[in-house]
Amino acid sequence: MWLFNRKGPSGFSASTTAEEVTEGIDGTGLTAIVTGGSSGIGTETARVLALRGVHVVMGVRNMTAGREVKEAMVKGNPTAKIDAMELDLSSMASVRKFAEEFNSSGLPLSILINNAGVMATPFMLSKDNIELQFATNHLGHFLLTNLLLEKMKKTALESGREGRIVNVSSRRHQFSYREGIRFDKINYPSGYNGLSAYGQSKLANILHANELSRRLKENGAEITANSVHPGAVATDLFHHQSFVSGGSNNMLRGIASTS
């Protein structure tokens, strides 16, 4: 349809592929972490970053799925540098373990894509007794970012290349609860609505990116932080719903200028 081919100010359209967005980009020497890299948006983002020479570390909850995705990517691109590390964003202990292992790996870190998430789940609590969507979509990524931030600052300083932090949010942030984020009722089953809770977590992603961007600029750090609504495409995120969302092109547009 003509609507999907209409180009915006960026020069890209809704039908532009991730490979087209990154054409001509050389990511050699960069290292990226992509959470939720074993499916959907995360897989395509990891694949195309690796195609452009970036060393990609996929943070995955299911290591079997992660290894299978890695093998498929390497089969299609034998020169790809891809690793899979276990990461359950609903568990703060798992987030700390992932960050500790990565920080001890000796790898630099130029790009952090906080992509993994769950959507519109029935009410349930995480391992840390926090509402699952808020824990997974926001708190896990908030903690992960904080634990990796010094590594990113050091990498930017030593490499002379500006770092990128991307929070994958959603336009659904406009449809959170009436009061926005229910800070005093995060774990209340009473009045819980799966889609509103999802919107709440996505609103938190945006507020996190906005405040982080302000602080990074204030501190003179060579890192940018952005949130992005990735577009509309069917992914496994919607197994609790019947409609569609998601896509990796906008994220890759945002990080392309890193190289």
Residue whose structure tokens are 């547009």: 253
Q: How far apart are CA 207 and CA 215, in angstroms?
A: 12
Report strand pairing: 111-114 vs 31-35.
parallel
The alpha-carbon radius of gyration of the chain (Å, integer) is 18
Strands 55-60 and 111-114, sheet pairing: unpaired
d(C-alpha 259, C-alpha 236), whole Å: 31
Q: Which residues carry out catalysis?
A: 192
Asked whether the beta carbons of 90 and 136 are under 8 A apart, the reply is: yes
